[in-house]
Amino acid sequence: MHNEATRSFSTSASFQMNPPAVITAENLTKSYGELTAVDGISFEVPAGESFGLLGPNGAGKSTTMKMIGGVSQRTSGKLSIMGLDPETHGPEVRAHLGVVPQQDNLDEELKVRENLIVYGRYFGLPLSYLRPKADELLEFAQLTDKAKSRVDALSGGMKRRLTIARSLINEPKILLLDEPTTGLDPQARHILWDWLFRLKEQGVTLILTTHYMDEAEQLCDRLIVVDKGRIMAEGSPGSLIREYSTREVLELRFGSERNATIGRELEGIGERVETLPDRVLIYTNDGESALEQVSARRLHPVTSLVRRSSLEDVFLRLTGRSLVD
Amino acid sequence: MSVLTGGHSATEAARGRTFGPLYSRNALAVVSRGLMAAKSSTWLILVSGFFEPVLYLISMGVGLGPIVGTVAGPGGQAISYAAYIAPALLAVSAMNGAVYDSTWNVFFKMNFAKLYQGMLYTSLGPLDVAIGEIFLALLRGLLYATGFTAVMAVMGLITTPWAILVIPASVLIAFGFASFGMGITSFMKTFQQMDWINFFMLPMFLFSATFYPLSVYPQYIQWLIQAMPLWHGVELLRQISIGSFSPATAVHVAYYLVMIALGIALTTGRLRKLFLK
């Protein structure tokens, strides 16, 4: 990132020079028989960016990740990772990647430190490099005193840390993280976020999928929202909120019996009114004044809350509220 | 602290290598992983596979042998019953070891430990994994064969220096079964399906001229058994053990060479289909 800044100064060009793309996907499609898991998506990720794929279950996020890793063949479209096609240069592409799968797949037959060394051997790295590197990563993951433990003796958070440490053994240029913090407690999540920030500072490109909107807001420079294999929206968390939601949201509860009827009476307040079974949401740029308007109509909610709009509002608006499996 | 002090010469060198989509010339990494895992597993399980044929040899050869007396060997000469069945049992043990390693072990690693999924997210290709796993199965086969041959020697069943060749021949037999076994396992989804393998192996063990000559069968049964891989293994080792060679020896060896080639092609194709879909 620093290099890019100096380069754009020295060229004294009137436009901002973008770092070269490390991932380019063009009309990427993946079908399993009748089912189209990924339906013609295109995106570019410049070096050093933290890029998020958001979407409900079955949206095609993991399939996209697998195609980037070269472990799933695309049906059609173009894909280039570090200038290489993962389909024809799988092992070479993966030499640049660190992969953190959705479920930890540590080698349970090996001890903690052995897991790092053996994984490094898969990349063809020599032991003279791997031994100090493994110790360094164990320290980073705060697992130094567990080096000789069996993997199944580790807690969930420790296993996750080991999986991420393992993904860094080959000093990857691109780190693929598939729901990295699912199943972790808040402490462990925050530690991981801190890690990922530091990796990003060192110039690693992060590609992550997540279900947690706060995580996406924290970590992603830019993200795409995918649903049913298609891109619904693309942009930074802030710009998506500006584009697809309002600055604030007023949440009103009238009791589950009355929400639906009162929701209709609230039409006209704010930019948009959404009635849910348990509450009514009013999307507005000024929550307080919307609340005054509600009172002026002599409607008195049991509870009311004004909050800032979040990525969650954008996500639910774009992908709907009904349950998908 | 810099965990990613990028530009490490080692990682750059590893990235500079070029290879196709299936093979990264790094099967050794898979082998060393297997050895490391074996180090921390219980040796008892490893050793149990060695004792099985030894127990058969003692019970059948020592127990049943005196009742049977001598039988006609491959060249027609009379040999003791124990000397007759010992090479056959060695072939069975090579088969069992290789099949166990390449089926149950692989089945577990594929479906439960998710080991191969992890491996294939690195620079390894499916062919590296296949070669590495098959090599490990052969290493175990080599250990068993060496041990069993030593037992044969102790029991006085070895009469010619040619017999030492049963060790590499056992590895050849194990190679044929291991390369095929892994490919077949890749089709299996449940434990019930895995039981079919035993359903196929047990009759092959009992009826492949292991304990008595093929001539007891009617002609068409003989053809059926001669089509099976174990019979070729039994005959090959029996010929080597007494140093009695014939053109059939070459046929037996060729049978296994073809089996190995087909097995590796099948396994690699299946791994590619399963993990690089």
Of A163-167, B14-18, B122-126, B224-228, where does mean pLDDT reach its minimum? B14-18
pLDDT at B229: 95
Q: Under an 8 A CB cutoff, do B14 and A118 touch? A: no
Chain B residues with CB under 8 Å of A88 CB are 20-21
pLDDT at B1 over 80: no
The CA-atom distances, in angstroms, between A316 and each of A50, A127, B65, B249 are 22, 49, 79, 72
Q: Name the residue range of residue B203's domain.
A: 19-275
How many domains, chain B? 1
Residue A134 CB neighbours (<10 A):
24
Q: Under an 8 A CB cutoff, do A91 and B2 touch? A: no
- Which strands sit side by side in the sheet containing A280-284, from one edge to the other? A272-275, A280-284, A248-253, A303-308
pLDDT at A81: 94
Please report whether residue B9 resides in a domain. Answer: no
How far separated are the first and last CA of chain A, in Å rounded? 39
Please report whether residue B11 resides in a domain. Answer: no
A196 to chain B, minimum CA–CA distance in Å?
A: 11
Q: Which of residues 131 through 150 in chain A touch B, CB cutoff 8 A?
A: 133, 136-137, 139-140
Check: CB of residue A224 under 8 Å from CB of residue A231. Answer: yes
Chain A residues with CB under 8 Å of B21 CB are 70, 87-91
What's the half-sphere exposure (Cβ side, CA atoms, 13 Å) at B150? 8
Judged by a CB distance cut-off of 8 A, whether residue B190 touches chain A is no
CA distance B133 to B101: 8
Judged by a CB distance cut-off of 8 A, whether residue B122 touches chain A is yes
Check: CB of residue A52 under 8 Å from CB of residue A65. Answer: no
Q: Under an 8 A CB cutoff, do A107 and B33 touch? A: yes
> Of B10, B11, B37, which is closest to A110 when you measure between CB atoms?
B37
Q: Under an 8 A CB cutoff, do A125 and B14 touch? A: yes
pLDDT at A323: 62
What tens digit of pLDDT does each residue of B74-89 get?
888 899 999 999 999 9
Q: List every span in chain A annotated with CATH 3.30.70.
A: 246-308
CA distance A270 to A281: 10
Chain B residues with CB under 8 Å of A71 CB are 117, 120-121, 275-276
pLDDT at A174: 95
Per-residue pLDDT of chain A (325 residues; tens, 9 = 90+): 444 443 334 333 334 456 789 999 999 999 988 889 999 999 999 999 999 999 888 888 989 998 998 888 899 999 999 999 988 888 888 999 999 998 888 999 899 999 999 999 999 999 999 999 999 999 988 899 999 999 999 988 899 889 999 999 999 999 999 998 887 888 888 888 888 998 899 899 999 998 888 899 989 999 999 998 999 999 999 999 999 999 999 999 988 888 888 888 888 888 989 888 888 999 999 999 999 999 998 888 999 999 999 888 888 888 887 765 5
The yes or no reply on domain A246-308 and CATH 1.25.40 is no
**Both tokens of residue B243?**
């140093």
Chain A residues with CB under 8 Å of B32 CB are 118, 121
Q: Under an 8 A CB cutoff, do B123 and A202 touch? A: no
ipTM of the complex: 0.81
Higher-confidence residue: B265 or A5? B265
pLDDT at A318: 86
Please report whether residue B8 resides in a domain. Answer: no
pLDDT at B274 over 70: yes
Please report whether residue B207 resides in a domain. Answer: yes
Judged by a CB distance cut-off of 8 A, whether residue B119 touches chain A is yes
pLDDT at B124 over 80: yes
Q: Under an 8 A CB cutoff, do B15 and A95 touch? A: yes
The CATH number of the domain covering residues in A20-237: 3.40.50.300
Q: What one-character DSSP code corresponds to residue B75?
A: T
Opening angle at CA A317, ends A314 and A322, nearest 5: 130
Q: What angle in degrees, to the nearest 10, is found between the helix axes of A127-140 and A112-122?
A: 130
Q: In the predicted model, what is the mean pLDDT of residues B92-103?
A: 87
Please report, as a single letter, which amino acid is at residue B147: G
pLDDT at A7: 39
Class of residue A274 by CB neighbours under 10 A (exposed 0-12, middle 13-18, buried 19+): middle
Q: Under an 8 A CB cutoff, do A103 and B118 touch? A: no
pLDDT at B242 over 70: yes
CA distance A112 to B181: 31
Q: Which range, A184-193, A217-226, B184-193, B194-203, is most confident?
A: A217-226
> Of A73, A105, A126, which is closest to B10 when you measure between CB atoms?
A126
Write down the mean pLDDT value for chain B. Answer: 87
pLDDT at A255: 86
Residue A58 CB neighbours (<10 A):
15
CA distance B22 to A292: 67
Q: Under an 8 A CB cutoff, do B121 and A94 touch? A: yes
User: Could you tell me which chain A residue has the CA closest to the CA of B110?
Assistant: A105
Please report whether residue B50 resides in a domain. Answer: yes
Q: Under an 8 A CB cutoff, do B124 and A140 touch? A: no
pLDDT at A18: 63
